[in-house]
Amino acid sequence: MKKIKLLANKRDNNSLALLAGNMASLYESGISFLIIMDLLIELPIKKNYKESLIKIKEEIKSGRSLEDAFSSYKDLYPEFFVGMISVGEKSGNLIKVLRGIERYYKKINYIRETIINALSYPIILLISILILVLVIFFIIVPSLYSFFIDLDAEIPFVFTIANKLAKFGKETPILLITYIIFWGILIPYFAIRKFLVKYIKRILTNFKVIKDFYELIFVLVVTIIIESGVSLTKGLYYTANSFKSLILKEKLINLSKSIMEGKSISETLEDSKEYSNYTISIIKLGEESGSVEERLNTLTDYLESKVIKNINKYLALLQPGIIILMGGMIMIFIIIFVLPIFDLISGSAIR
Residues 280 and 170 reside in one and the same domain? yes
Q: 36 in a domain, yes or no?
A: yes
Residues 161 and 251 reside in one and the same domain? yes
Residues 73 and 107 reside in one and the same domain? no
Per residue in 313-323, pLDDT (tens digit) is 877 777 788 77
The predicted structure's pLDDT at residue 351: 53
Which has more confidence, 14 or 233? Answer: 14
The predicted structure's pLDDT at residue 196: 59
With 0.75 as the threshold, say if the pTM is over it.
Answer: no
The predicted structure's pLDDT at residue 6: 39
| d(C-alpha 2, C-alpha 24), whole Å | 28
Q: 167 in a domain, yes or no?
A: yes
Q: 52 in a domain, yes or no?
A: yes
Q: 316 in a domain, yes or no?
A: yes
Residue 273: φ, ψ to 5°: 60, 30
Q: 7 in a domain, yes or no?
A: no
The predicted structure's pLDDT at residue 56: 92
Lowest-pLDDT range of 24-38, 184-198, 243-257, 275-289: 184-198
| d(C-alpha 145, C-alpha 213), whole Å | 52
| d(C-alpha 165, C-alpha 138), whole Å | 9
Residues 49 and 135 reside in one and the same domain? no
Q: 2 in a domain, yes or no?
A: no
For the chain, how many structural domains are there in total? 2
Q: Are 212 and 310 in contact (CB under 8 A)?
A: yes
C-alpha distances out from residue 20 to 23, 38, 229, 297, Å: 5, 14, 17, 19
Q: Are 214 and 205 in contact (CB under 8 A)?
A: yes
The predicted structure's pLDDT at residue 19: 94
Residues 270 and 156 reside in one and the same domain? yes
Closest CA to 14 of 42, 55, 49, 39: 49
Q: 85 in a domain, yes or no?
A: no
Indicate if the pLDDT at residue 242 is higher than 70.
no
Estimate to the nearest angstrom the gap between the alpha carbon of 170 and the chain centroid. Answer: 36
The predicted structure's pLDDT at residue 7: 38
Closest CA to 279 of 260, 255, 311: 255
Q: Which residues contact 132 (CB under 8 A, 6 or more apart)?
A: 326, 329, 330
Domain that holds residue 68: 13-77
Indicate if the pLDDT at residue 36 is higher than 80.
yes
Residues 163 and 32 reside in one and the same domain? no
Split at pLDDT 50, 70, 90, the class of 198 is low
The top-scoring range by mean pLDDT among 50-64, 105-119, 240-254 is 50-64
Q: Which residues contact 250 (CB under 8 A, 6 or more apart)?
A: none
Q: Give percent of the chain with pLDDT exceeding 90.
A: 16
Split at pLDDT 50, 70, 90, the class of 261 is confident
Q: 91 in a domain, yes or no?
A: no
The predicted structure's pLDDT at residue 1: 40
Residues 29 and 167 reside in one and the same domain? no
CATH number at 141 reads 1.20.81.30
Indicate if the pLDDT at residue 34 is higher than 70.
yes
Residues 213 and 295 reside in one and the same domain? yes
Identify the sign of the CA torsion 163, 164, 168, 171. Answer: positive
Indicate if the pLDDT at residue 152 is higher than 80.
no
Indicate if the pLDDT at residue 207 is higher than 60.
yes
Indicate if the pLDDT at residue 149 is higher than 70.
yes
Calculate mean pLDDT across residues 190-210: 65
Residues 134 and 208 reside in one and the same domain? yes
Split at pLDDT 50, 70, 90, the class of 5 is very low
> Quick one: how many helices (H) and strands (E) in the chain?
19, 0
